[in-house]
Amino acid sequence: MLSCCSPEPFCPLQKRGVSPIPSAGTATPQQSETKLEALEAKDRIYCALDTPDLAAACGLASALAGHVGGLKLGLEFFAACGPDGFRKVAETGIPVFLDLKLHDIPNTVASTIAALAPLGPAIMTIHAGGGPAMMRAAVEAAAASADEADMPKPLIVGVTVLTSLDNADLARMGVADGVDGQAVRLARLARDNRLDGVVCSPREVAAIRAECGEEFLLVVPGIRPENTGADDQKRIMTPRQAVSEGADILVIGRPITRAADPVAAALAIAASLD
């Protein structure tokens, strides 16, 4: 059975002008309270491990350690493997982005953030569409839990418009001004309610960067290297295009995890950014 090893940990996230928080001696391998600056190309890449198979996820995590900036674990993995699975993947020392896209009343989201934060995720997601009170509750719960556990606060980012949706989908949902208008509106709301950043497709990066500023973290899925399929993503760009638009973190799953050689695929994507 595959298992996760523990290579020398590294921290691809940092505030502008602030040194990374050292991982030695801390309660968790995950590093947070951060903003990307002057990263190596590989450190922008977070590989999405969208699988319910713990052994497969750990094998990929161990193989990719040192070749990507972080890993993303989503609902599929967490529903199957739970907190213990998260801890096992986190043994690699790579920052882990826990992408559960929480969306509920403020008290429930705050309680869930408080329960999950001690796992030590570098980043957590909530839906920006949950509204101002929910966003503020999430940020406050993350800060309080981090203080209580004496560990870095996870970055809380708001999901704007899922990359599987397009203007026609939003119109059927009653959103008249399309993806761009909705994404920028939700990003502005997230910024105003103290979220660290948002998740958006590469197509909205430039508009959100212009609206919300350089310090606002943009986590960007819908990344497809040249000559790869779109799968179920409707709003995509190549890695190089997305970074040129202003993306910080590139979330890339199937082009790496389904490659014959995932490490080679990750290295090729990083090389395309140089």
Tens of pLDDT, residues 82-136: 999 999 999 999 999 999 999 999 999 999 999 999 999 999 999 999 999 999 9
Query: Which of 252, 195, 198 shows the shortest CA–CA distance to 222?
Result: 252
The beta-carbon contacts of 100-105 under 8 Å, at least 24 apart in sequence, are: 100/74, 100/75, 100/124, 100/125, 101/75, 101/125, 101/126, 101/127, 101/159, 102/126, 102/127, 102/130, 102/138, 103/127, 103/129, 103/130, 103/134, 104/130, 104/134, 105/134
pLDDT band with cut points at 50, 70 and 90 for residue 80: very high
Query: What's the pLDDT score for residue 251?
Result: 96
pLDDT (tens digit, 9 = 90+) per residue, 206-240?
Answer: 999 999 999 999 999 989 887 665 555 556 789 99
Share of the chain above pLDDT 70, in %: 83
Which of 35, 88, 101, 153 is labelled catalytic? 101
Would 7 be classed as within a structural domain? no
Q: Is residue 22 part of a domain?
A: no
Q: Is the pLDDT assigned to residue 262 strictly greater than 60?
A: yes
101 is catalytic: yes
Question: Do the strands 123-127 and 45-48 form a parallel or antiparallel pair, or are they unpaired?
Answer: unpaired
Q: What residue numbers bound the domain in which 218 lies?
A: 41-273
- Quickly state the pLDDT bin for 37 (edges 50, 70, 90): low
In DSSP terms, 45 is beta-bridged to: 250
Flag whether 4 is in a domain.
Answer: no
Distance CA 197, CA 265 (A): 27
Q: Is residue 227 part of a domain?
A: yes
Q: How many separate domains does the chain show?
A: 1
| Tokens read off for 164 | 């599987």
Residue 1 lies in a domain: no
| Whether the predicted model's global pTM rises above the 0.95 cut | no
In a domain, 129, yes or no: yes
Tell me the percentage of the chain whose pLDDT exceeds 90: 77
The CATH number linked to 80 is 3.20.20.70
Q: Would you say residue 254 lies in a domain? A: yes
Q: Residue 169: inside a domain, yes or no?
A: yes
